[in-house]
Structure 1
Amino acid sequence: MPDPIKRIELKDGTVRYRFVVDVGRDPETGKRKQVTHTFDGKKEAKTEYARIRHETDRGTYVRPSKMTVDQFLDEWLTSATRDVEEATAANYRHALLPVRAQLGGRLLQSLAEGDIERLVDWMLTEGRRRGGKPGSGLSARSARLTLGRLRTALNVAVRRQLVVRNVAQFVTIPRAAAKAALAAKADRTPWTEAEVKTFLAGIADERLYAVCLLSLMGLRPAEVCGLRWSDVDFDAGTLAAGDNTRTLVDGRVVEKTAKSAAGRRGLPMPAAVTTALKAFKTRQASEKLRAGEAYQRTGYVLVDEIGEPQRPDWLRRRVYELMARAGVRKVRLYDARHACLTYLATQGVTDVVLAAWAGHADGGTLAKRVYVHPDLTHLQQAAKVLDAGLFAGNSTAVREGV
């Protein structure tokens, strides 16, 4: 077998050693791929030739590339977001923004584990660019999400033989940051029963009273914003939660149904909610008469005085104002849902009914998931519990048309 290492003499008399070796075929075109290497000494050339042949035979050879991190992430995102919802695709893009900011211009093959560790430290100390004070640290949750997306992307890079190994594989969030995040989460508690009642009493005459009750009966903010009057059946005393949601994606409103079948659920309305929604609908009819042609007949429950449907960020700001007005502790709007589900759980509502009420696919143990099928009759238990306790005395608190 001829020696694959060729002696090359340049015009100036300098001697080099060169080899050309097959490294497989291009997975897209099927064409044979070859690499050429030139060295000053024959020993170096032989060593590199042997390494490449060994890795090629094992299927682990990585061809040198000038692809940058940004270029790879563009390629990966195109593939990873082909069959996901628009909001999910936006979450992928946003999670990788810190990677692009710190490492985007680097060669993909130049990344080392230390680079990823420094990226995590930067995110936790000064990585915030939006959603707060620029230059402050991101939460451990945000850093963990970014790290998770990067790991997934680099796994694909390894599979496509763009890099030798996943340098993010064993990088973790520093223990101190993780403990601080757990402590902060423990401090974030939903309202107690007394706080819920104080809030409801303080906003009984407010225009958004019925909307707040929807959150406090366990609907997600996106479900509240997407609820239409056609989803509310006053005769049956039910509403269709999750059939339509309104979420924000890159500043735009995106409408969709809930992700899972469990998320699209019919819920029996507590009497307090029914009364409040009837009053709110009557009020909207009066607003429609006053606005005349300017009124937008969109059919949504949550609209302003001229019928314009509202976004989750608008709802969040308005509810925070109502919290301040009622003199109650400020909590996230999503925690109103937590308050409801916590109350139902502590009042003895079964796990499987609680999961069905919340719109979760997992109802508890395998036996419950397989053999128990909650229907509207089962869910009436949750409505009765809310009326008897959390919403006690509020079914007649709202005057028709107020």
Structure 2
Amino acid sequence: MGDPIKKITLKDGTTRYRFVVDIGHDANGKRKQLTVTKDTKTEAKNERARILHQRANGTLVPPSKMTVDELLNDWLKSATRDVEEGTAANYEDAVRPVRVHLGHKPLQEITEDDVESLIDWMLTSGRVRGGKAGTGLGLRSVQLTLGRLRSALHLAVRRQLVTRNVAEHVTIPRQARQEAKAKRAKRVPWTEQEVKVFLAECQGHRLHAAMLLLLLGLRPAEVCGMRWSEDVDLTAGTIQVETTRTMVRGKVVEKDPKSERGKRTLPLPAVVLGALRAAKAAQAKEKLAAGQGYTDSGRVVVDELGEAAKTDWLRRRVYKLMEAAGVRKVRPYDARHACLTWMATSGVPDVIVSAWAGHSDLSFTKRVYVHPDAEDLRAGADHMQKVLG
């Protein structure tokens, strides 16, 4: 067998050493070969030995022209094979900043510095929508993007497209985490007094029942998905949470709750039951007044012509009612936090609070949704006074 390393002379008279080595087969079974050229025969020998060793133990990563954008296409195809449309849309949204900042780069050339640059750019000027363009994205968005990029690079490692995951040990700067923590601390759910002021403004409003359902801890998408015939039992005084109605890629998507625990039957306080009865009667009057122009969608929350409500439609009207009531503006979703906090601080057992929320993880409910305030802590002081006094 002849020497696999050949001496070659270039047009300019320069001497080089070249070898060709088999590195496997493509998807069609065709043999793939790698051609390597080095300045010296020793370099060529060492490189050939390295390649053969890696080929033998399955760690060889052949050169590839694949870009980061192309990797993300492959990863999305794999990651969204068996997920809901909304989840797939979230994945695509999460990797969009990567496409903008790194998508054009060859996959095998990106470094940890590139990933850190991506994080810094997102935190300072990566926003495209959902706010003022060119400003920084929130910590949660950056965390999701970094997590999806790590997952895509894990796929690249498994498929032997890169030798290591350069995003594996990249972290978000401490200052950004501290700033996000401070913002979360400022997001305080309504107090009981604020709720009373708000509900006084809502009394008699056609969306009074919807406001009460939000304050019962239902998600806006759950409120918009509620149906009279399937989900509301005015005789038994209960509601079933069975369907959510939300927006995905600009269109309405109706689906089951996030988990099996999300499907739940809740008993209604008398005030909510009364408001639902009033809402149903009001819808009947609106249907009669509108005649053929009315759409009988069968939903609990509808517009004046019976069309089922979207979450953004409901959110805008909630904010108008807040403004009219003169109360502090909070997100409609924060009503869920307020409800679960009241329950937890009023002595309702943790397992009941979690079941009411539709969660399977008790610790998650308490960690994320329960926010005791100074008055709640006063109960602890009063108890300790009895113990220590």
State whether TM-score is above 0.5.
yes
Distance 1:46 1:188 in 2: 64
Distance 1:341 1:227 in 2: 20
Q: Are residues 1:215 and 2:211 paired? A: no
2:254 is aligned with what amino acid?
Answer: E
Aligned length: 363
2:283 is aligned with what amino acid?
Answer: Q
Distance 1:39 1:195 in 2: 75
1:15 is displaced (CA, Å) by 3.8
Q: Are residues 1:356 and 2:355 paired? A: yes
1:7 is aligned with what amino acid?
Answer: K
Corresponding residue of 2:24: 24
Q: Counterparts in 2 of 1:187-202, with a 5 A limit?
A: 187-202=186-201
1:189 is displaced (CA, Å) by 1.1
Q: 1:49 to 1:313 in 2, by over 3 A?
A: same
Work out whether residues 227 and 300 of structure 1, in 8 Å CA contact, stay in contact via their aligned partners in 2: yes
Distance 1:258 1:301 in 2: 17
Task: Report the 3-state secondary structure (helix = DSSP H, G, I; strand = E; otherwise coil) of the residue aligned with 1:162.
Answer: coil
1:239 is aligned with what amino acid?
Answer: I
Work out whether residues 112 and 167 of structure 1, in 8 Å CA contact, stay in contact via their aligned partners in 2: yes
Q: 1:30 to 1:351 in 2, by over 3 A?
A: farther
Q: Which runs of 4+ in 1 moved over 4 A?
A: 9-14
Distance 2:2 2:267 in 1: 83
Distance 1:25 1:234 in 2: 67
1:29 is displaced (CA, Å) by 3.8
Q: 1:176 to 1:364 in 2, by over 3 A?
A: closer
Corresponding residue of 1:295: 294
2:181 is aligned with what amino acid?
Answer: L
Q: Counterparts in 2 of 1:98-137, with a 5 A limit?
A: 98-137=97-136
Superposed CA offset, 1:77-128 (max 9, x none) = 0111000110000000001111111111111111010011011000000010
Task: Report the 3-state secondary structure (helix = DSSP H, G, I; strand = E; otherwise coil) of the residue aligned with 1:206.
Answer: coil
Superposed CA offset, 1:1-56 (max 9, x none) = 64321223467765432212122344x44444321112343222112212212222
Corresponding residue of 2:178: 179
Distance 1:113 1:16 in 2: 33
Stretches of structure 1 that go unaligned for 5 or more consecutive residues are 366-402
Stretches of structure 2 that go unaligned for 5 or more consecutive residues are 365-389
Superposed CA offset, 1:255-284 (max 9, x none) = 101121110111111111110000000000
1:8 is aligned with what amino acid?
Answer: I
1:60 is displaced (CA, Å) by 1.7
Superposed CA offset, 1:311-345 (max 9, x none) = 11111111011111111111111000111110011
Distance 1:8 1:233 in 2: 86
Distance 2:321 2:10 in 1: 82
Indicate the RMSD between aligned Cα atoms, in angstroms: 1.6
1:349 is aligned with what amino acid?
Answer: V
Point out the more displaced range, 281-290 or 12-21: 12-21
1:193 is displaced (CA, Å) by 1.2
Work out whether residues 353 and 363 of structure 1, in 8 Å CA contact, stay in contact via their aligned partners in 2: no
Q: 1:225 to 1:139 in 2, by over 3 A?
A: same
Point out the more displaced range, 45-54 or 129-138: 45-54
Distance 1:14 1:145 in 2: 51
Distance 2:121 2:215 in 1: 38
Distance 2:11 2:344 in 1: 85
Work out whether residues 218 and 337 of structure 1, in 8 Å CA contact, stay in contact via their aligned partners in 2: yes
**Which is bigger in relative contact order (C-alpha 8 A, separation at least 6)?**
1
Distance 1:270 1:30 in 2: 68
Distance 1:104 1:322 in 2: 44
Corresponding residue of 2:68: 69
Corresponding residue of 2:240: 240
Corresponding residue of 1:259: 258
Superposed CA offset, 1:333-369 (max 9, x none) = 100011111001111111111111100012459xxxx
Work out whether residues 265 and 359 of structure 1, in 8 Å CA contact, stay in contact via their aligned partners in 2: yes
Work out whether residues 223 and 245 of structure 1, in 8 Å CA contact, stay in contact via their aligned partners in 2: yes
Corresponding residue of 1:146: 145
Distance 2:24 2:309 in 1: 57
Work out whether residues 69 and 108 of structure 1, in 8 Å CA contact, stay in contact via their aligned partners in 2: yes
Corresponding residue of 1:160: 159
Task: Report the 3-state secondary structure (helix = DSSP H, G, I; strand = E; otherwise coil) of the residue aligned with 1:22.
Answer: strand
Task: Report the 3-state secondary structure (helix = DSSP H, G, I; strand = E; otherwise coil) of the residue aligned with 2:261.
Answer: coil
Corresponding residue of 1:268: 267
Q: Normalising by structure 1, what TM-score? A: 0.87
Point out the more displaced range, 274-283 or 196-205: 196-205
Distance 2:243 2:41 in 1: 69
Distance 2:286 2:294 in 1: 8
Corresponding residue of 2:84: 85
Work out whether residues 109 and 162 of structure 1, in 8 Å CA contact, stay in contact via their aligned partners in 2: yes
Distance 1:354 1:313 in 2: 27
Work out whether residues 352 and 364 of structure 1, in 8 Å CA contact, stay in contact via their aligned partners in 2: no
Corresponding residue of 2:331: 332
Corresponding residue of 1:379: none
Q: Identity, % of aligned pairs?
A: 63
Point out the more displaced range, 38-47 or 153-162: 38-47
Work out whether residues 244 and 257 of structure 1, in 8 Å CA contact, stay in contact via their aligned partners in 2: yes
Q: Counterparts in 2 of 1:321-400, with a 5 A limit?
A: 321-363=320-362
Distance 1:143 1:45 in 2: 44
Distance 2:10 2:151 in 1: 46
Distance 2:177 2:84 in 1: 30
Q: Normalising by structure 2, what TM-score? A: 0.90
Corresponding residue of 1:43: 42
1:166 is displaced (CA, Å) by 0.7
